[in-house]
């Protein structure tokens, strides 16, 4: 097999296994085991193939050709406890989500590099157990965003110290959402007789882009700037409805009651709660990252990154149905947030690097719009990792522990949200990457 074919085949293999994760908002940052161990603080260092994701301008530091592949394995856990609604707790299913990544870089000449990458910028996995009876089912029973970015990076070494990059991408997404509707509009979680389960499954794609700048005037200092553009992604698919045993009889009673308002409501629900085509629009927010790396001694580097994510683009989630439901919108009104990342790397020996990181990540969800689709509050991560060097082969390992601060939720019964609390949110993140220099 030609060497050049290996990266392409591996990219295709990993593409077939991409799934979603657990994150602030629905942004993802698990782009390599080394980056994970450093708390994602890698925009200024950016000196391995995963720079395609963290800061594509950094690939000008890589001589020859390099290949990297890996994955992060994410095990989230979230509890939602009701204060007044029937039922006391909603629990996550305890699934393990896999976030794969793969990168290939090649130096074309003294000034130009090209790279190929596959990673996930956004993703979400909220899947509650006992969905038929849990009190939040009228708001969300499960939500899933599975997105993959396919990137081609072009980097130019403008001077020995300064590099610039442009990385266009194609973002491919699978979107899933399920909830229940009470046809009597009572939204009483204590009874399930008149529930209809709605299951939405959609797919779509959109273009995106990233600009990167890497500046290294001294061996002991470097800086990185990264801007990721906003994209609007339209997904299309099916909405399937599963009626409970008493729903048809309840609708018939509503229609037969002779009250005009109930006749209209009954007719609307009967026609609206039938399988149909559907489409929706989901924003992928833009963001800006700045990173500063310092080398206080030959074997030690410290990097601080800060990211501003422009979540204010997420004003509303809208579904357009091909039936009488027509257009259904849900206000979101998220706000822009900061993410702070600190990473420390120590070269203990020629074959062993030790790493640690810390992250503080703000939630974009205002109090008036918290729901059960996204466990929304500020979160922190502490991480550790190691790199094992074997000549041209490097194996990176990482572990991160994420915890979400508890948050109270005020009731909005018409939206299926009750007085409740998010508690005990924690996630384990394990990463593995393999790097090879040709």
Position 84 scores a pLDDT of 63
From residue 425, give the alpha-carbon distance in Å to each of 83, 407, 437. 18, 10, 39
SS3 track for the chain: CCCCHHHHHHHHHHHCCCCCCCCCCCECCCCCHHHHHCCCCCCCCCCCCCHHHHCHHHHHHCCCEEEEEEEEEEEEEEEEEECCCCCCEEEECCCCEEEEEEEEEEECCCCEEEEEEEECCEEEEEEECCCCCCCCCCCCCEEEEEEEEEEEEEEEECCCCEEEEEEEEEEEEEEEEEEEEECCCCCCCCCCCCEEEEEEEEEEEEEEEEEEEEEEEECCEEEEEEEECCEEEEEEEEEEEEECCCHHHHHHHHHHCCCHHHHHHHHHHHHHCCCEEEEEEEEECCEEEEEEEEEEECCEEEEEEEEEECHHHCCEEEEEECCCCCEEEEECCCCCEEEEEEEEEEECCCCEEEEEEEEEECCCCCHHHCCCCCCCCCEEEEEEEEEEEECCEEEEEEEEEEEECCEEECCEHHHCECCEEEEEEEEEEEEEEEEEEC
Cβ(206)–Cβ(263) below 8 Å: no
Place of tokens 């220099």: 437
pLDDT at 266: 58
Q: What pLDDT shows up at residue 87?
A: 56
Per-domain residue ranges of the chain: 26-437
Tell me which residues of the chain have a pLDDT lower than 70. 1-24, 84-94, 255-269
Q: Match 């708390």 to its residue by tokens.
A: 39
Strands 123-127 and 65-82: unpaired
Residue found by looking up tokens 């501003």 in the block: 308
Token pair, residue 234, equals 């339209």
pLDDT at 5: 36
| 26-437 has CATH 2.40.160.60 classification | yes
The neighbouring-strand residues paired with 436 are: 67, 393
Rounded to the nearest 5 degrees, what angle is found at the Cα of 23, between the Cα atoms of 20 and 27?
A: 80
Structure tokens at 50: 């995963």
């Amino acid at each position: 097999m030609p060497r050049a074919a290996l990266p392409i085949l591996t990219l295709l293999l990993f593409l077939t296994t991409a799934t979603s994760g657990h994150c602030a908002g629905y942004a993802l940052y698990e782009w390599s085991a080394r980056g994970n161990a450093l708390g994602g603080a890698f925009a200024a260092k950016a000196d391995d193939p995963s720079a395609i994701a963290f800061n594509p301008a950094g690939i000008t530091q890589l001589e020859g050709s390099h290949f990297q592949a890996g994955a992060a394995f994410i095990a989230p856990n979230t509890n939602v406890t009701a204060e007044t609604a029937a039922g006391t707790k909603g629990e996550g299913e305890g699934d393990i989500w896999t976030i794969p990544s793969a990168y290939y870089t090649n130096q074309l000449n003294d000034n130009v590099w090209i790279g190929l990458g596959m990673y996930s910028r956004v993703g979400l996995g909220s899947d509650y157990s006992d969905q038929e009876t849990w009190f939040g089912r009228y708001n969300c029973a499960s939500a899933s965003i599975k997105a993959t970015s396919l990137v081609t990076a072009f980097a130019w070494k403008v001077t020995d110290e300064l590099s610039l990059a442009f990385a266009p991408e194609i973002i491919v997404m699978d979107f899933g959402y399920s909830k229940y509707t009470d046809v009597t509009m009572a939204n009483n979680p204590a009874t399930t007789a008149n529930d209809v389960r709605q299951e939405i499954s959609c797919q779509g794609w959109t273009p995106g882009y990233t600009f990167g700048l890497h500046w290294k005037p001294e061996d002991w200092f470097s800086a990185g700037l990264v801007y990721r553009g906003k994209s609007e992604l339209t997904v299309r698919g099916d909405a399937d409805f599963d009626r409970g045993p008493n729903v048809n009889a309840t609708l018939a009673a509503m229609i037969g009651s002779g009250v005009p308002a109930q006749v209209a409501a009954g007719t609307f629900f009967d026609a609206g709660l039938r399988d149909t085509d559907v489409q929706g629009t989901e924003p992928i927010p833009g963001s800006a990252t700045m990173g500063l790396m310092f080398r206080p001694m030959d074997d030690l580097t410290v990097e601080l990154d800060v990211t501003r994510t422009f979540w204010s683009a997420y004003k509303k989630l809208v579904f357009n149905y091909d039936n009488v439901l027509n257009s259904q919108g849900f206000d979101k009104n998220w706000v822009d947030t900061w993410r702070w990342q600190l990473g420390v790397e120590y070269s203990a020996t020629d074959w062993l690097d030790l790493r640690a990181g810390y992250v503080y990540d703000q939630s974009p969800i205002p109090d008036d719009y918290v729901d059960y689709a996204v466990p929304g509050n500020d979160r922190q991560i502490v991480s550790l990792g190691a790199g094992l060097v074997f000549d041209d082969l490097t194996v990176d390992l990482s572990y991160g522990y994420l915890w979400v601060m508890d948050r109270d939720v005020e009731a909005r019964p018409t939206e299926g949200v009750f007085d409740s609390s998010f508690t005990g949110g924690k996630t384990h993140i394990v990463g593995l990457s393999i790097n090879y220099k040709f």
